[in-house]
Chains A and B, each alone.
Chain A
Amino acid sequence: MAGWRRTRGLQKRVGWFAGVLGGVVALVVVIAGTTDPPSYDSYRDQVRQTAKQVSSAVAAADWATRLELSGRTAFALSRVVVSEAATDASESWDTLAKRRPPNERAMELRQRAVGPMRAAVSGLAELRTAVRGRNASDAGRALAALVEPARQLRELQRVA
């Protein structure tokens, strides 16, 4: 009987705990569902974030390619890293490109971001083709072409 009471008590406590947890989750879902009105600040944050993601993809692809060219990787490791980087950069840019700048200032920022982002995305696509084809000279050219977009992307991450 005592064991049964203990079990019932434990079940009540577990039920109470689950109820509180459910309430907290529901509250957060409601809060997360509310969206801020579009503003320059949120647009700038997204540009910064995208610049960071594309910049990261360029750096990963650059590094993996250099490892491949110096014979320091195995199997398809470098090819996969470069391919994933090209896809990531392309998807990040596509997401930003679909968003309409909320005001004139945001539009100017977009104009500033378009050049390096497109150059990085197309440069990574060329690099992917070169690495897949095991073409060292094309890979070297593609890497060189990514230097300037990479620098501009680093600057974009610091935009005010």
Chain B
Amino acid sequence: MRGAFRPALGVLTAIGGFVDISNLVTSGVTGARFGMTLTWAIVLGTGAMILYGEMAGRLAAIARRPVFHVVRERLGVRTGLANLAAVEALSLLTVAAEIGGVAFVLELLTGVNYLVWVPVAGLVTGLIVWRLPFSGLENIFGLLGLTLIVFVVALFVLPTDWGALWHGATHPWVPRGEGHPAYFFYAISLVGSCVIPYQVIFFSSGGREEHWTRERLTEMRTNVLVGFSLGGVLSVAIMAAVAVALRPRGIQVEHLSQVALPAAEALGRVGAVLALVGFGAATLAAAAVSALSTGYGVAQYFGWPWGKDRRFAEAPRFHLATLSGVAVATAMLLTTVNPLTITILSVVLGAAAVPLTYFPLMVVVNDRAYMGEHVNPGWLNALGSLLMLAMVVITLVAVPLLLLTGGGS
């Protein structure tokens, strides 16, 4: 299906990179606590991700080099290293959170405590990133993750008050009984669950794995638009389904399991199965995507050979870095630290670190030496700068809000 529209990478990016454990949990928590009043945060996050995703993809297609390689070259070794350290730390936290998510799904399937499943989830993630070809990763998880559309269908089956949902989405006020700090903490969490620092690394590296060129810019832009928009729609659907089904019952989402209940309520056993399959695909794909991003980042920074489809002997340091990330994340979880705590921490710190990773990208895609005529147009720079300003504000308030609200509690 070579041509203008081959959206597998976009769908994988939506399922594995956008809708992951952090997105599933934060959409669920916010839907239950704040109804639809935080929809704007998902729209903001999705818009930012589309904007920066397009820049990363364009860089990969035009300069034919991935983000980290160019950032180090253009901004210097030290700035590149700070960037690398931030992304690697956050990616490791994310790998741990996602492996924890996979273990949670296995618990929901079997009833056996998730901790028993952590080594299995780590092993499966390791095998996927090592053995499964990039196209397999895209097609299998992209397809399975699409079962999350069950939440969109559920909204039409449940007694949804569409007027109330729309009113909530268009009146972003703090609901009665909730405080401003918690509201803004979760707004940041939602933005952080959409705008993920490693995402541009994965997307641009994936673009190189798929050999994007300037002739395939349309395909890249389609991937960006389809992938991230689909991710945004699924996040809003999950938030809405939870707002419709859990909020009236006074249920606060504390666990991934509760997020599946609206699908079961609406569509019975089939709905429950589809939701669990979607959770499994999204968390496993995200574990693989974030693990690969740890390898991509390190290998591209140090100029080592890299590539998902390269054999171990051809890119040993890349594969070792990737598998080490999986091993460290699995070990982190075996200390019995709660994966949901890691999730919230990674999302909020990720939101705080966005300028560190996205500002260098903005600088590079404005450099004619790399981009030629494909530098950012003025309107894109204006929009990118506005979003960057919003991200800087988020950076300044994210950690204080994390501490003041006790992690949103």
Which residues on A are within 8 Å of B, measured CB to CB?
A: 7, 10-11, 14, 17, 20-21, 24-25, 28-29, 32, 52-53, 55-56, 59-60, 63-64, 67, 71-77, 79-81, 84, 88, 154
Contact = CB atoms under 8 A, between A and B. Distances in A.
A111 to B, nearest CB: 24
B251 interface: yes
Given A32-B403, A55-B250, A67-B264, A75 B109 contact: yes
A54 B395 CA distance: 34
A50 B96 CA distance: 30
A10 B79 contact: yes
B404 interface: yes
Contacts, number: 106
Interface string B251-263: 1101101101100
13 contacts: A11-B78, A11-B79, A14-B82, A24-B399, A28-B400, A28-B404, A67-B261, A73-B269, A74-B269, A76-B108, A76-B109, A77-B276, A154-B250
Interface of B: 75-76, 78-79, 82, 107-111, 246, 249-252, 254-255, 257-258, 260-261, 264-265, 268-269, 271-273, 276, 352, 355-356, 363, 395-396, 399-400, 403-404
Nearest to A52: B252
B84 to A, nearest CB: 13
Contacts of A7: 75-76, 79
A71 B272 CA distance: 11
A11 B74 CA distance: 12
Contacts of A75: 108-111, 272-273, 276
Contacts of A77: 108, 257, 260-261, 264, 272, 276
Contacts of B75: 7, 10
Contact of A56 (B251, B276, B400, B404): B251
B386 to A, nearest CB: 18
Contact of B268 (A21, A53, A71): A71
The 8 closest A-B pairs by CB, nearest first: A76-B111, A74-B272, A28-B400, A72-B268, A7-B76, A56-B252, A32-B403, A75-B109
A67 B260 CA distance: 12
B264 A24 contact: no
B269 A63 contact: no
Contact of B255 (A59, A74, A81): A81
Interface-central residue, B110, B111, B352, by most chain A CB under 10 Å? B111
B399 A28 contact: yes
A32 to B, nearest CB: 5
A56 B251 CA distance: 4
A35 to B, nearest CB: 13
Contacts of B363: 10
Contacts of B404: 28, 32
A4 B246 CA distance: 56
B268 to A, nearest CB: 4
A143 to B, nearest CB: 14
Contacts of B107: 76, 80
B264 A73 contact: yes
Contact of B76 (A11, A20, A64, A71): A11
Given A10-B75, A11-B76, A72 B269 contact: yes
A29 B79 CA distance: 27
A25 B401 CA distance: 10
A80 B257 CA distance: 7
A154 B165 CA distance: 25
Contacts of A67: 261, 264-265
Contacts of A17: 355
A20 B79 CA distance: 17
A24 B396 contact: yes
